[in-house]
Amino acid sequence: MWRRAGVVAAGCVVVLAAGAGVVLERRGELPWSQAEATQGFTLVTPATGPSPTWSAAPGVLDAPATAGAAGEPAVGEVLAPTLGAAGLGGRVGVSVVDLTTGVTSYETAGADPHTPASTLKILTGAAALHALGPDHTFTTRVVSGPDPSAVTLVGGGDPTLTAGDDGPGTRLADLAAATAAALTEAGVGSVTLSYDATLFTGPAVDPDWSPGYVPSVVSPTTALAVDILDRPSDPSLDAAEEFAALLGDQGISVDGDPVAAAAPADGTELASVASAPLATVVEDILTTSDNDGAEVLARHVALAAGAPGTSADAGPAVQAALTELGLDASGATLLDGSGLARGSAVPATLITGALTLAAGPDHPELRAVVTGLPVAAFTGTLADRFDDSAAAGLVRAKTGTLTGVSALAGVVVAADGVGYAFAVLADDVGNTLSARAALDDVAAALAACGCA
């Protein structure tokens, strides 16, 4: 998950993996040169190679596509049969924007706030990338005080921390090994362990969530957690216990149980580990629809704005960051970062606005918002959707589902080579499966559109 990404370019969808791109369909004039064909796909490598720095990243889109012949159907005409599906219920907000021109191609109730469910993660990701930068990393540290045998594990809000030996994420075992080496060098073989998760404050469980969400779909939000998808009841204590066990594996014994305590202000850092760049973290959160990761990012946005790292401050901070990007976020109400809060309400136009910025040439720092979107029938939460659709591989979109709410928002390259950002938010649905099928039909219709 951590090394898979993708871009939408004029006339194609490219899925990037380990430095190569897989063009699934509809190649156009792109800044890529063809390398070889493999297993029915086309592998491509950069003709000149994009700069490794985000500030110089190339734009995703080429020049505007040539308009089609007069009399071709408008986007609204193409989408009308699918948007009228009973499965979408009685309240639907729709926005479709031409990514090349930034002009709205179709909209109905697009400015009206609707419950976004997990499509809100698009906005959280954009806000985090804007506030912190795509190269930002999250650091977990171990410090000692005046007594070198008293050490503190300090959480830095890394949502990817893992106790596993392999796979993606920041390895807690590496931190334990480096800590043990520093302690051994200092002649310390036994320690007491405390843990500090005070970077975030306020309730760990957002009061705007339904009580049943914890721990079934989200954990308490904390600045120190390891393998958070295992859903421990006390993530910070669980992380400290895992760290104690890993220290033991390195020959450092831990006396007693870990206890919560603020790290000494003048403590000496023994070791630290840093996460992957934020761009990679955002990609994974969007691909997997990681509720916990999105909540952590929202609190980081609050901290970056100088506000406390609370759930109450996170939503407004995300909204303010979107406004700084030039988006009209005035009609939005953001109560969390993941979209689990049913009281959140977002205009579809705000989501397509964020997607348009992320896909365009002026904000390369936001590119991960597009590259992290699941690919229809291939990755993430869309891996089991669009299997029998001609839109497979052409639609990249974030799903959103709550009881009575179904949403889909992302980007697509239509049959005429025009790239579109789209958002369809339905928050009065009766049957989730029917609504999901209807949303897939909308996206497939847009992919088949010859509307330029």
Euclidean distance between CA atoms 80 and 86, whole angstroms: 12
Residues with catalytic annotation? 118, 121, 289
For the record, the structure tokens of 233 come out as: 């009841």
How far, in Å, CA of 316 to CA of 44, rounded?
41
Comparing C-alpha atoms, which of 281, 263, 259, 273 is closest to residue 163? 273
First to last CA, the chain: 35
Spatial CA neighbour of 351 closest among 312, 382, 325? 325
* CA quadruple 432, 433, 438, 443: dihedral, nearest 10: 100
Relative to beta strand 92-98, strand 253-254 is unpaired
Residue 254 amino acid letter = V
**Between the CA of residue 216 and those of 211, 232, 423, what are the distances in Å?**
10, 11, 27
How far apart are alpha carbons 238 and 247 in whole angstroms? Answer: 14
CA-wise closest residue to 260 among 192, 341, 205: 192
User: In whole angstroms, what is the distance from residue 335 CA to residue 295 CA?
Assistant: 11
